[in-house]
Structure 1
Amino acid sequence: MGDDDRVELCWPGKYVDGVRAPLLDHGAELLERERIGTAAPEASPANRLIRGDNLLALEALVRREPHSVDLVYIDPPFATGNRFALLRRIGDKREGTDAQLRLPAFDDAWDGGLAGFLRMLDPRLRLIHKLLSPTGSLYVHVDPTVGHAVKLLLDEVFGPGCFQREIVWRIGWISGFKTMARNWIRNHDLIFFYTKDPREFTFNKTWVPHPASYERRAGTAAKAPGVAIEDVWNAGAGELELSGRESLDSIQIKSFSREKTGWATQKNESLLRRIIAASSNPGDVVADLFAGSGTTGVVAAELGRAFVVCDHADAAVQIARNRLIAAKVGFALLEVDHREQALQLQDLEPGVVQGWMLEQLGGSGEGPAPFIARRGDVGLALGLPGEPVTVARIEQLLAAARERELAAVELLAFEWAAEELELASTDPKRAELRGPKLIPVQVSRGLFESSVRATAWVEGGVAVFERPELRLEVTELEHARTRIELLDVHLHRPEHLPESLRSRGFAERLLGWSIAAAATPTEPMFVAVRDRAGLSLVAELPGRVGDAILAIEDVCGHRHVRRLTPP
């Protein structure tokens, strides 16, 4: 087909000076933060959970391991303009203390609308093509509002001949406001199935078994093991009867399901089970670069496949991590390096980030120096990107607060160089220091999501968070064992927590914790996560514990890491 016959989808930025915008490589690396249940020092763990921008993660994977993935499933945002939330239950329903915690999760809004969405998706699809093995497959989950544009983009990246099927997935039960449309009620999503090579790819045909009462009209035995699954996926009465929990008849995870995590766009395990079983074999590598709650990784491991899953939202990675731990799956947790922050900052005008940070602290006005602002009797200070907070800076701020008779210093920063702030206390009766208090506050990835930073920290927002003081009791037991009890995760500003958490004890605010030797900080020797029975606050470890690394996961999606030096 000549250029004059070409049909092409265009958007602002697709071409630069008449030439297709090139794929860039920002040079980011993936840093190992934790290994759970996997042998070390394995150079490249089979199962990987990646925290960070999937564009940078894809660049790193393609640079190091091109053509290494056999199946990719992605469920990207649909350019709906919506802001999605994470719902979590806290407290104990049996004791009447349960409540719902609603947290902002991620934005599905793009500058320029559909054009901005395509600018985001285009380089990622091009990198996925490079990551796929010669016989690899891609499934892209979309809705009808962007499906037409995504289909044209996929045709361009993979080639029209590599298109295999458009799968229509029935959403299922429709109720409430979704039934109020003055039109036909939308009740399906689309899944586009492409292969890298249209002639050679993995596909294991699947069937819905015949019911026990099935008889052919001629009275002879059935030639096929059942009814071949078509490209319209919904649970009719026969499939529902036979499949039970494997039914695909609902995009939404039912409220009573054990699968339900509270992540807004979570998909059924049965959906991923069908795709992974059909388009990969045991031992293959499966990837999901918009991993959300981690369903792809959980199901891939269940089916004997290795996985690489990635998400930029801290809470999503936290959910996926805990699901994998609960499923007793070994994996490595990796993180995109400092280049992610540089990419987030590069298009922002000077002073924008400083303004966001000051809004989080509820500050207004100026100074007095060395403070950027005040809030009542609290001096406010910032540690901007590339400016790690040092001990000298902290001492300067506290001295200035003492001189001005301020009650406290709230210091919001991206990075900390002060070792004192990394220590966990082993004195349960530790007295508060006299004079102004230092209240360290940490920037999270949420600062770069407009819906997350929309609520300031001083009003219960979670774009930044106080770095708590962790208090423990360490006891040496008989037979060379050590007992460590987590006594408190102390906050100076509990009034700045989301409202439903403010009156809760520290244990109710936790999702899990872990302990690793300082010499091997990525290999925890103890891991506890909250389950239906609760969360244990006591660890008993073999041997005498020396310097260690303590990590805490809280229900707001934040991770706190401290060094423990037993007396």
Structure 2
Amino acid sequence: MPLWTAENPDTVIHADNLAVLPDLPDGAFTVVYLDPPFNTGRTQRRQTTTAVRVADAEASARSVTAITGFAGQSYERIKGDLLGYDDVFDDYWAFLEPRLAEAWRLLAPDGTLYLHLDYREAHYAKVLLDALFGRACFINELIWAYDYGGKSKRRWPTKHDTILMYVKDPARYFFDSEAVDREPYMAPGLVTPEKVARGKLPTDVWWHTIVSPTGREKTGYPTQKPAGLIRRMLQASSRPGDWVLDFFAGSGTTGAVAAQLGRRFLLIDENPEAIRVMRDRLGVEGVDFRDATSSRS
């Protein structure tokens, strides 16, 4: 019996994501949102991949693009150059790379990956994702800007994260900007009253506060991201009824927002505390909670 199919209810799986991702069906998800652990210098269990799997003749034809990187250099060449440049990144990428290869496989032909990183890793990941997905599959570098916390006096305070947006097929991906909640104009006096009332479409710089430490949205999970960020991604890149995958699910924000918007969700996390928070947040009625920790290799 498969671990999950598109006929399942909304699902949360307690497991090491790399142990269960290969059991999921190809092309099942319209959006994959990933907020992996930032590089903390921990040694990760090493995994290796040499190519992205392709399922049919059309995908095979596209695979030439999918593994061609900057200036025509091959994926293995780019990966080797970067791993030789930075030993700390070597460990982190060995952890993240096979999971991103699975994300590519699991995306639907019209699907989108949103990869949420901080400034220390985003530039490395961008180059390697160009090689893994193909440069033509890069759509946006989104900047989430916020203003909270300590302010350094020895450099410009770092108050942003980076979200890289890649698609499975640049000719087929789904994107509906009109479905996205609009935001106020920063200079309303420069536009008509009609435009002020309607608001403007967001750009690739998203000003959005962090989750308030005292607000109703706060779950207590340390890496929780604001629902407003995920809402914008799912509004633009999915339709009601589409499946959304988050396999670093944390506090379950992706699932909570997907449910509000009428999307379906599959969440995976190996942290027992994350599963507890998601049970409290998402409830158990209509959501299938599964323990697949015995599937770890």
- The question of a shared fold, defined as TM-score above 0.5 by the shorter chain, is answered with yes
Contact 1:79-1:110 at 8 Å conserved across structures: no
Q: Which amino acid aligns with 2:36?
A: P
| Counterpart for residue 208 of structure 1 | 182
- For residue 315 of structure 1, give the secondary structure of its aligned residue in structure 2: helix
Counterpart Cα distance in 2 of 1:264 and 1:339: 26
| Counterpart for residue 285 of structure 1 | 243
Q: Deviations over 1:197-237 (max 9, x none)?
A: 112211121353558x96776x6854994322100111xxx
- For residue 122 of structure 2, give the secondary structure of its aligned residue in structure 1: helix
Q: TM-score, normalised by structure 1?
A: 0.42
| Counterpart for residue 33 of structure 2 | 73
Counterpart Cα distance in 1 of 2:175 and 2:168: 13
Alignment of 1:65-464 (within 5 A): 65-81=25-41, 109-111=42-44, 113-175=88-150, 179-180=151-152, 182-205=154-177, 206=180, 208=182, 221-222=194-195, 225-234=198-207, 248-250=208-210, 253-325=211-283, 330-336=286-292, 338-340=294-296, 343=297
Distance change (3 Å), C-alpha of 1:293 and 1:337: closer
Displacement of 1:321 in angstroms is 1.5
Q: Which amino acid aligns with 2:266?
A: V
Contact 1:207-1:228 at 8 Å conserved across structures: yes
In proportion to residue count, which structure has more helix? 2
Counterpart Cα distance in 2 of 1:155 and 1:314: 34
Runs of 4+ in 1 over 3 A off after TM superposition: 28-31, 213-217, 219-225
Q: Which amino acid aligns with 2:43?
A: W
Displacement of 1:337 in angstroms is 5.3
Displacement of 1:129 in angstroms is 0.7
Structure index of larger Rg: 1
In proportion to residue count, which structure has more strand? 1
Counterpart Cα distance in 2 of 1:221 and 1:131: 42
Q: Which amino acid aligns with 2:282?
A: L
Displacement of 1:127 in angstroms is 0.8
- For residue 120 of structure 2, give the secondary structure of its aligned residue in structure 1: helix
Displacement of 1:121 in angstroms is 0.8
Q: Which amino acid aligns with 2:256?
A: V
Equivalenced residue count is 252
Moved more, 330-339 or 196-205: 330-339
Alignment of 1:25-36 (within 5 A): 30=3
Distance change (3 Å), C-alpha of 1:227 and 1:69: same
Displacement of 1:291 in angstroms is 0.3
Q: Which runs of 5+ in 2 are unaligned?
A: 45-86
Q: Deviations over 1:90-124 (max 9, x none)?
A: xxxxxxxxxxxxxxxxxxx2256321111111111
Provide the alpha-carbon RMSD of the alignment. Answer: 2.6
Counterpart Cα distance in 1 of 2:188 and 2:295: 60
Contact 1:216-1:222 at 8 Å conserved across structures: no
- For residue 163 of structure 2, give the secondary structure of its aligned residue in structure 1: strand
Structure number with the bigger relative contact order (C-alpha 8 A, sep ≥ 6) is 2
Q: TM-score, normalised by structure 2?
A: 0.78
Distance change (3 Å), C-alpha of 1:220 and 1:124: closer
Counterpart Cα distance in 2 of 1:122 and 1:220: 49
Q: Which runs of 5+ in 1 are unaligned?
A: 1-27, 32-41, 82-108, 235-247, 344-567
Distance change (3 Å), C-alpha of 1:220 and 1:123: closer
